[in-house]
Structure formats: structure tokens, C-alpha cells
Structure 1
Amino acid sequence: MADTKPRILVFIPAYRCADQVTRVLDQFDARVQAWIDTAIVVDNRSPDNTLDAAVARARERLTRTRFIGWRNDDNYGLGGSHKAAFRYAIEQGFDYLVVLHGDDQADVRDLLPQLESGAYRDTDCLLGARFMRGSRLLGYSFVRTIGNRVYNALFSLVAGRRIHDLGSGLNMYRLTTFRDFYYKGFPDDLTFNYVMLLGSYHARQRVRYFPISWREEDQVSNVRLFRQAFKVLSLLGRFMLRRGTFLREDMRGKAFERYSGQVVYRQDTVAQP
């Protein structure tokens, strides 16, 4: 049975979340570790001890899953960290990349039913959704919930597909679909997920959603909501008018040739089951 399981890399983007990233690694119980080959925390030049905290907890918690502590060579933003992780996962021969945000709002254990049932096999993008039947929200404001639902409806209208969430903290991607680095010019900031989703629909990739749990407790948000809202609407309008031409544009504020980084810690020894 173990031989038939895919090689999965869990990518944990982290910035200034030393307290939260340790709780994210605590989610890796025996059932999770049975599925996950490697977890990589990608620290985007945090000014605190985020990566040190992650390494310390990985030493304690991970007994069957390998661990990599990575620091970006520059501040690439959340989207840029995604690009670094996709490139690393493809170069290292992984089959799937799971994105699990390091701020402890999503829970990787919500992915287990999709893995254990084999539901992941017939999708290119398996996306966690906070706003579909079966999802659970804790501490998320009513106003932000309504705002997200409105944006989901607008994007659904333009994309011509039912969209349940524009970007949660838990997604899974089949890497054969992403070997062509067509997303290099996508934004490096927080809007990366929105453009990535539009790009997946435009490329006719198989996209499916699954319900997740989501909580807001002590997380520190780096999002200026109104500015972000207008920026997202602008992206959607440009896609509506130009479609593929828009997706081929370079939307980055600063164009990096490579999204490189350094492996500062590696835990390769895995306990036998």
C-alpha cells in the first residue's frame, strides 16, 4: 500500500509567524505523516525567529516525515515563495505539492479524507474552500465572510465556473501540470492565488474544491483590505477583457530571474513505521 502512495511535499510559507508555525507542525500527527514524504518551511526573510522555531518543533514532532528549513535569498512575497516551492518540488521529483500556510489558520488534517479516498487522483488543483457546505469558520468576521462570497460570485461569473474560494491556506497541486513555468510572471504578492486560479481555469485544468476548517485567533495580517479589494477587482477586470493575453503579462513589481533560497536545515532521518 505504501508503495502506491504519491510523493507529496508540503510547502509551508512563513513570514513573521514564529508562534503560529509551531502549531502548524503540531498538525502532523501519525495519519498525516503516513502520507507526507517531506515538509518544507519556506521563510521569506522574517525579521523574527520564525525559521528557528519551525526547526525546533520539527525535530520534536516529525518522526516519519522529512523536513527542510529554507530561507529565501530575497523577499519574494507570498507568490514568489510559491514559485520557489513549485520549482524545488518539480526539480526534486515530487508528484504533488501541498500548500499549507504557516499562520495556523488552515489544518492539513482536512486534506486526509481526500488522500485516503483517492479523490486527489482525478484533479490537477484540489483547493480548500472556506465557504462551501461542510466548511467550518471560527473567529472569522461576518463582514469578511460576505465580502469573500461576493468576490467568489464575481470571479465565478467571469471564469464561467463555480468558485468556492479564491485562495485559502490549504491547496494541493499535481506537479506534472505545472512543469511549464507559465506562472513565473504572475504577481509575487498576495494576489498570486487569484491569478493562479484564473490561469488554471483558462488552461482547462481539472479544479475541484473540498471543505476545510478555518480559524482566526492570534494571527497577524499583512493585508490592507480596501487596497487589496480594489487590486483584486482590477485583476479580474483585466482578465475579463484580455484573457490569455493578460495571463501572459509580467505582473510582478520586481522581476526576479530565479526564486532561489538556501536550505539551512535538513532532517533526512526518518523513523521506520
Structure 2
Amino acid sequence: MKIDNHSVAGRHQVSKKAKALIFIVSYNAERFIEGVLERIPGDVWTNELYDSEVLLIDDCSRDDTFKRARAFSEKEGSRPITVLFNPVNQGYGGNQKIGYFYAIQQGFDAVVLLHGDGQYAPEYLDRLIRPIIASEADAVFGSRMMKKGDALKGDMPVYKWLGNKALTFLQNRILGAHLSEFHSGYRAYSTEALSSIPFKYNSDYFDFDTDIIIQLLLKKKRILEVPIPTFYGDEISRVNEIRYGIKIIISSVQSRVQRWGIFYHPRFDTEGKRYPYVPKFGFPSSHQFAFDAVPPRTRVLDLGSGPCLMEKELKKKGCSVVSVEKHFDDTPQDSSEHITADIDKFDLSKLPGDFKTILALDVIDQLRAPELFFERIRDRFSENHTDIVITVANVGFIMTRLSLFLGLFNYGRRGILDLEHTRLFTFRSLRRTLEMSGFVILKEKGIPAPYPLAFGWTGFAGLCLSINSLAIRASRSLFSYQIAVVARAKPTLEVLLERARKAVSGK
């Protein structure tokens, strides 16, 4: 990367004012770049609220864009202008990633994106920057659609206007947003907001702008729109409208279905941590199946209890519950009812007393060696007629099969392909594992997807549950989101041998 890091007197002096970066992306813009730089208003350079600097990154232009920008920087020695050059073209989105990384790294408070071809008016820079500096918004978008008819008056082609309106309408519906325009390239961001989203995973193409809007919406950041004029001159558009339209709709849909655990991409993982474990009672679910399988007023062992959701519900049935979890969050630790332990290594022989039911809900597929786990369960509980309730994700679910067919078999932070899953099961493979481990299956059931968690307690969620439940009757292995099993350990060989000896001595 070539760098013209033009020294400016006083550039690095300590200032109490905020810092705003005007980030100009440019590619083959030699006819426009000097005009864009000249049009940056004086009140952007000098005002009481913030200090401004310009970063211009030429994305491997084949013309003299870099030379002209550097010459302008040297001529305007009193103004801080840094000109960089990508030796390899990074794409519209890839170039933005570099600029935003620079803004964060250099400690700017706000960064505003400006195009080097003059399509967006530099005269409006201050209107985008000020709400960020004043903490009134996390992002400010210049919109050409806020004032009716302005876009067409600015010579926006009718087909572009229609496409803009149609795509914005669809994206608002998909994402639950209320923006007047998704497709403006004139934007300002707080670097704090940028630091909170994984923009490095975004597309390098023009749909980068949609990806970043989705991320801001997922983080519930404040987005403000301000009207800007539309200008279409003789600049060359490098956007393939059909490809662009398809990509942004796909991204919008993907971000939506990721909330349901069907799809995963790190660019829409704005939390960067495991989703909270939520109760699933009151509808066909793994929690409800387990709750119904436990007799009232009995002793229960909950292995991998998480936030003890089952314990709270089972106590309403008069049950006594011992919960075992690697990390408890809000419950007392290492008491008689709460044991801190790694299930993979937990010594079950140290548990006092007997249990009527053992719960292993969404646990088996996270163990390193489920077979050894079942062996330890059998050794400890086979003589007590203890039932074990097991729920696991069904990797044979139709959506997972379809994803695999399309080459989209990817892990996520929840759902069937949870990142913490070390083993994957189908009905047949779970049954085989249990039978080989010496268990008898007493009950086996397919569980539909947890639609109320995705859509809320709505009629649509209820309809989806009903349809999914009917489909499970037709093909349990294909339409079950989870597998639920009640099993009981057979006597071990040691116990059987001892029984045989006692039987002989009794005759």
C-alpha cells in the first residue's frame, strides 16, 4: 500500500474537541476527485464541535486518481489529508473495511463515507457528522427518498428509482425496519457503533452497505436519516443491479432466519456469545416432554441443568431436584441441590441416594464420549429402575438436509448445528448408541421446531407447530427438530452374574 502521510503542523496536538474522519472511497475517479476535495466546506474543517481529517483510499485505480489526490493533499498543506493506495483492488466493501479499521485504530469519534466520483454532495458533510458527535445517533444516513420526487428531479434513472423503492420496501418488511432508503452510499457512523459490529465479515461487494445496516439493526443502534440532494452526472456506475438486488435480499433473509437457528453466518452474530437458554413450556417442546415424563413428588437428577429452568418447574410438582452444571450463573453453587461439575468427568458414584428420573436435556450431543457417559449411568443406576430422559437435536431434520444439499452445512450459536455440539444424532444413531450401551428405550418422540421462540406466541406460530406436528406423524426422522427419548438401563453383567449366583444358592 502506497502512503502519502502528509505532515501537517499541529496535526497531532492534543484537542479537547471530537475527531471526525471524512473517508473517501475512490476508483478511477481522476475526473472528479479534485472537485470533491475542493467542495468540502470550510465549516467542516473549522468549527467549535469537532476537528476533521480526510482519509482517501484509492482502490487500485488504473488512471491518475491517486496522483491527483496526492497532489491536492500537498497543495493544501494546512489541511490534514491522508492519501492511501491499495496495490490490489479490494472492492467497494473491502475498501470500506480498511477505512473503518483506520478510523477505529486512530481514535476518531465519527467517520463519514464520501464517494470520490462526486455522486454525493460534500456540502452536506456537517449535517451527517453533527448528530454523531452530539450523541444523537449511532449512524446517520443521507437519504435521497425522504422528499418525494427529489430523486427523479436529480436525474436518478426511473428504473433505479423503482428498484430502490421496491428493494427498500422488501428489506423494511424482512428486517422490521422503517428506513426511507437502504441504498444510499452517503453515511456517517460513530466508531463506537462500528467497534460493536463484526463488519470485517461483510461482503467486499456493494452489498456491504446492506450488511452494515443489518448489523446496526441487530444491535438496536440508533439510525437517523437526513435528506440529501440526488445527483446523477457522467460518473460510471460499477454496480450490476441484478446481482446487487439478489445479494441484498439474500442477506436480509439470511439475517432473519439466523434468529431461528436455521442458518448461521458470523457477520450476523452481533452478540458474539451463546444465546440465552430460554424456557420452552406450554407447547410441544423438549422441556415440556421432560416435564411430563417426571412423576410428581419424586427425586430428580438434572445433568447439565443450565439456568435450572427444569428445577423451577418441577418443584411446582413437588419434586426434589439435584442440578449439576459446569457453571451456575444465578443459583447457589456446591450445595446439596446444586453441584458444579463437568458432566464429561463427573463421578456419579458420589451422588447420595436414589433418583426416580435423570434428565439429560440437550446434553448428550455436547459430550466428548456419550458412550462412556451412558456406561457410567448404567453402572450407577441400573439397579434402581431409574429412567433417563434424553433430548438431542435431530441432524436429519429437513432443513439441515436441505442445507447440506445446498452446501450450506454450517455451525451456529444455537439450533441443530450449535457450535458446542461435538456429536450429531439421528433417531437411528441415538437408538443404536443407547442399545449398545445397555439401555432399553421406553418411549421415543419427535419434537417440532420451537416456533413460539421465533415468532412469539402468535397464531402463525401455533399454525407452524400444528403443521410440523402433522408432518412428524408422516416422517419422524425427516420433520422432527429434536429427538426425545425415555430409556432405562439394563442390569450390568456384574449384576446379572451376581443374580445368577444368588439364584443357585437359593435352590
TM-score range, shorter chain: 0.7 to 0.9
6-15 or 115-124: bigger deviation: 115-124
Matched to 2:206, the amino acid is L
Alpha-carbon contact 1:9-1:39 (below 8 Å) kept: yes
User: Which of 210, 217, 227 is matched with 1:194 structurally?
Assistant: 210
SS of the residue aligned with 1:97?
strand
Q: Distance in 2 between matches of 1:114 and 1:47?
A: 31
Identity %: 23
Q: Spell out, residue by residue over 1:214-253, the C-alpha distance to the aligned partner (whole angstroms, 9 max, x if none).
A: 2111101111222222222222222232248545159xxx
Distance 1:77 1:118, change over 3 A: closer
CA distance in 2, matches of 1:181, 1:75: 24
Distance 1:135 1:42, change over 3 A: farther
Retained in 1: the 8 A contact 2:115–2:185?
yes
For structure 1, which segment, 109-118 or 186-195, has the greater mean C-alpha deviation from structure 2 after superposition?
Answer: 109-118
Q: How many residues align?
A: 248
Correspondence 1:53 to 2:68? yes
Deviates more, 1:172-181 or 1:8-17: 172-181
* 1:60-99 superposed matches below 5 A: 60=75, 62=76, 64-99=78-113
Bigger shift: residues 76-85 or 114-123? 114-123
Determine if contact 2:128/2:141 at 8 Å carries over to the other structure: no
Distance 1:43 1:114, change over 3 A: closer
CA offsets, 1:76-104, max 9 Å, x none? Answer: 11111111111111111111111001110
The match for 1:172 among 188, 196, 200 is 188
Distance apart, 1:122 and its partner CA: 1.5
Please say which structure displays the higher CA radius of gyration: 2
Matched, 1:211 2:227: yes
1:136 to 1:246, Cα distance in 2 relative to 1, 3 A: farther
Aligned to 2:242: 226
Distance 1:160 1:116, change over 3 A: closer
**Rounded Cα–Cα distance in structure 1 between residues aligned with 2:211 and 2:131:** 29
Query: Is the 8 Å Cα contact of residues 112 and 128 (structure 2) preserved in structure 1?
Result: no
| Partner AA of 2:188 in structure 1 | M
What is the TM-score normalised by the length of structure 2? 0.46
Query: Take 1:135 and 1:32, find their aligned partners in 2: how far apart are those partners?
Result: 29
Structure 1 residues 89-98 or 27-36, which shifts more?
Answer: 27-36
Deviation, 1:21, is 1.4
Q: 2:85 aligns to what SS in structure 1?
A: strand
Provide the rounded CA distance (Å) in 2 between the counterparts of 1:15 and 1:29: 23
Matches of 2:197 and 2:216, distance apart in 1: 13
Contact 2:111 2:191 in 1 (8 A): yes
The letter for the 2-side match of 1:241 is: V
Alpha-carbon separation, structure 1, partners of 2:104 and 2:149: 31
Residue 28 of structure 1, aligned match among 17, 37, 40: 40
Listed as ranges, the gaps of 5+ residues in structure 2 are 1-14, 269-507
Q: What secondary structure sits across from 1:218 in the alignment? A: coil
Tell me if 1:248 matches 2:266. yes
Distance across 2 between alignment mates of 1:246 and 1:163: 25
Q: d(CA) in 2 for partners of 1:85 and 1:129?
A: 22
Matched, 1:18 2:30: yes
Aligned to 2:255: 239
Q: 1:196 to 1:126 in 2, by over 3 A?
A: same
Q: Residue type of the partner of 1:248?
A: P
Please say if residues 110 and 133 of structure 2, whose CA atoms lie closer than 8 Å, have aligned partners that are also in contact: no
Rounded to whole Å, the distance in 1 between the matches of 2:172 and 2:219 is 16
1:118 Cα offset (Å): 7.6
Letter in 1 for 2:119: Q
The answer as to whether partners of 1:6 and 1:95 remain within 8 angstroms in 2 is: yes
1:270 corresponding residue in structure 2: none
The reply on whether 1:42 has 2:57 as its aligned counterpart is yes
Question: SS of 2:200's equivalent?
Answer: coil
Distance 1:249 1:111, change over 3 A: closer
TM-score normalised by length of structure 1: 0.82
For residue 148 of structure 1, the aligned residue among 160, 164, 189 is: 164
| Alpha-carbon distance between aligned partners in 1 of 2:207 and 2:74, rounded to the nearest angstrom | 33
**Paired residues of 2:100 and 2:111 also in contact (CA < 8 A):** yes
Q: Which residue of 2 aligns with 1:266?
A: none
Higher RCO (Cα < 8 Å, 6 or more apart): 1
